[in-house]
Amino acid sequence: MRKFDQITEDYSRQPVPDSATVTGLRITVVMVGAVITLPIFFVAAQLGHSLGLRNAIIAFFVAGVFLAGLAGAAGVLASKTRLTTWLILKYSFGGMGAKIVSAFIGITVLGWYGATVEMFARAVVAIVRDLGGTPMDNRVYLIIASILMIAIALFGFKGLDRLSRLALPIMLVLLGSLVYTAISTFGILEQSVGEMPLSQGISATIGAFIVAVAMFPDVCRYARSSKDAVQASWLSFGLGVPIVLLLAAIPITLSGEQDFLKVILTIGLGVPGLVLLLLATWTTNAFNLYSSSLVFATIIERVQKWKLVIVVGILGTLVALLPILDNFLYFLNFLAALVPPLAGIYLSDYFVLNKQEYDAEDLKQLPAFRPVAFVAWILGSLVGLFANEGKIALTSVPAADAILTAFLIYTVLSYVLKNK
């Protein structure tokens, strides 16, 4: 058992040592593998249909620049501290305060794990039926998929790294073949501009990936240097995300069909489509499970992380099996609005207030709570929610409004209280 503990060591409660660090390209492969997922295919489909192909391309790459810039700052922080997102939050929220924040986010990630695997199981049933087979109960596919995801997440970043290096090239080839087949089937038509305004499309694209950016330190803590962290952020979010969205959006706009899964079935890519969905769900949910276990490792400090992976994986599977999931998704969307402001807070604390100087030993001497961080978090989240409803408009991007608000409030209040 001790040997297994060593094999699955993921440095969830301490800085990553130099011997375990990797290049920026390796981090990119893990991150791009994580963002290729069934829910994102549906986001790309909706945006491609609503914007039209030309505006969709602009929206994807403009949003990619914003995401990459923010991810670059978070990545530099992570590469210098070598800590998880949740340990980094201890500096600004305090020891107990960070646990409270982590509990909220842990529920969010756990819920999305369940939602993604359940969506995959339904898609498998549809594809098997379309191929003329007799599908098993979708719960069988769901449980099998969860077992595969838990098996990878047990080994932490090392498991994600190996899976992504194997799966990413296959997924890109399959997406490319989907685009080629769609062009051959429907032809290249002149695409009109959709009904959705370009600014709204950019905002929606940013919103779809902003949680991944805020949690980027979870993988970027393995970067060998700040240069590798910046490289990974731009290759992942500045280039990888727009390309993945574009590959998913092209078949939608050419076919006129709004359902990504129906496009796969219409052009007769049942088996390749099934492989694509399997790999996409596997890499993404293994990442979700990895991140969720890091969250709970911050809260439950005496249990080895690989054991938490199993428990969290079982809980996520139960969430997917229960009939509460459809209603639970509204709650998850609300909780997701709480994540972006955290990035504004930890970036302010590290780059502005502490001048890029964190000492890992300080983690043992932090106060239990830092109220300023909670004030900034709550106000930033409220601004983000109101901006999403159109009641407030600072930057026209609700997630950016939330981050900016939290950043400014945390910075100003911290300086005021320090001077007093």
Residue 1 predicted with pLDDT over 90: no
Question: What's the whole-number mean pLDDT along residues 141-168?
Answer: 92
- Percent residues over pLDDT 90 in the chain: 39
pLDDT at 5 over 90: no
Confidence of residue 223 (pLDDT cuts 50, 70, 90): very high
Predicted local confidence at residue 33, as pLDDT:
92
Give the torsion sign (CA, 105, 106, 108, 113). Answer: positive
Here the tokens at position 153 are: 């997440």
Tokens of 234: 């731009």
Calculate mean pLDDT across residues 408-415. 94
Confidence (pLDDT) at 335 = 65
Least confident of 165-169, 261-265, 316-320: 261-265
Token representation of residue 202: 């950019």
Closest to 291 measured CA to CA, from 109, 117, 115, 150 = 109
Give the pLDDT band of residue 28 (cuts 50, 70, 90): very high
Specify the higher pLDDT residue, 256 or 303.
303
Cα(245)–Cα(248) distance, integer angstroms: 5
**Res 399 pLDDT > 70:** yes
Q: How far apart are CA 269 and CA 250, in angstroms?
A: 15
Of all helices (H) and strands (E), which one includes residue 13? Answer: none
> Do residues 253 and 263 make contact, with C-beta atoms less than 8 angstroms apart?
no
| pLDDT on residue 392 | 80
Beta carbons within 8 Å of 317's beta carbon, 6+ residues apart: 114, 117, 142, 143, 146
Average pLDDT value for residue range 5-26? 89
pLDDT in tens, 202-218: 888 888 888 889 899 99
Instruction: Quickly state the pLDDT bin for 195 (edges 50, 70, 90).
Output: confident
- pLDDT for 161-187, tens place per residue? 999 999 999 999 988 888 888 888 777
* Average pLDDT value for residue range 212-233: 94
Mean pLDDT score of the chain, rounded to an integer?
86
Q: Looking at residues 93-104, what average pLDDT do you find? A: 89
Q: What is the mean pLDDT of residues 285-311?
A: 89
Instruction: Tell which wins on pLDDT, 196 or 169.
Output: 169
> Which pLDDT band, with edges at 50, 70 and 90, does 338 fall under?
confident
pTM of the model: 0.90
pLDDT, residue 77, reads 95
Q: Using CA atoms, how far apart are residues 90 and 96, in angstroms rounded to an integer?
A: 8
pLDDT-derived band at 201, boundaries 50, 70, 90 = confident
Express as a percent the part of the chain with pLDDT over 70.
93
Three-class SS state of 350: helix
User: What is the distance between the alpha carbons of residues 420 and 348, in angstroms, rounded to a whole number?
Assistant: 19
From the DSSP assignment, how many helices (H) and strands (E) are in the chain? Answer: 19, 0
Region class of 89: left (phi > 0), else alpha (psi between -120 and 50), else beta: alpha
Give the residue ranges of DSSP H helices in 322-397: 325-336, 340-347, 371-388
Q: Of 84, 15, 91, give the one whose Cα is nearest residue 366.
A: 91
What is the pLDDT, as a whole number, of residue 356? 81
